[in-house]
Amino acid sequence: MNKFTTTKLCQTVLAGGTLIVALSTGARAADVPQAHVKYADLDLSSPAGAAVLYQRIRVAASRVCGNPDHRDLARFGQAKTCTDKAIAGAVTAVGNDTLTDLYQTKTHNVTAAKFASN
């Protein structure tokens, strides 16, 4: 099971139509939980394509960050923070306006939009 500390941050890396969502722990890359999110098959100019990618990103972030029991408030909060950062980072890394608009609609968060438009 993933052990969360306040020093762990979520990272996203964009590589040729694949996002890599990972925890940043200072450990060797092979030891760090990560998920690859492929999206070369999607038309990101369409809302439907962006929605499919957004769902893939959410699932990957949840896998990487964990999904602890909601009764363990400390771990649940850390997992939620990690998941939120991973999703925001992935949306920013893709830099697609349609995906960014969907992210903003779902989260009411404009952070990714600032980076996507730069």
Question: 8 pLDDT band (50/70/90 cuts)?
Answer: very low
**Which tokens in the block code for residue 54?**
């957004």
> For residues 86 and 80, what is the distance between their CA atoms, to the nearest angstrom?
10
Average confidence score pLDDT of the chain: 74
Stretch 35-61: mean pLDDT, rounded? 91
Pairwise CA distance, residues 80 & 58, whole Å: 11
- pLDDT at position 18, please? 57
Cβ atoms of 22 and 64 closer than 8 Å: yes
Q: pLDDT confidence of 102, banded at 50, 70, 90?
A: very high
Count CB neighbours of 3 within 10 A.
9
Six-digit token string for 107? 């989260």
- Model pLDDT for residues 67-97, shown as the tens digit of each residue: 878 788 888 888 888 888 888 888 888 889 9
3-class SS of residue 14? strand
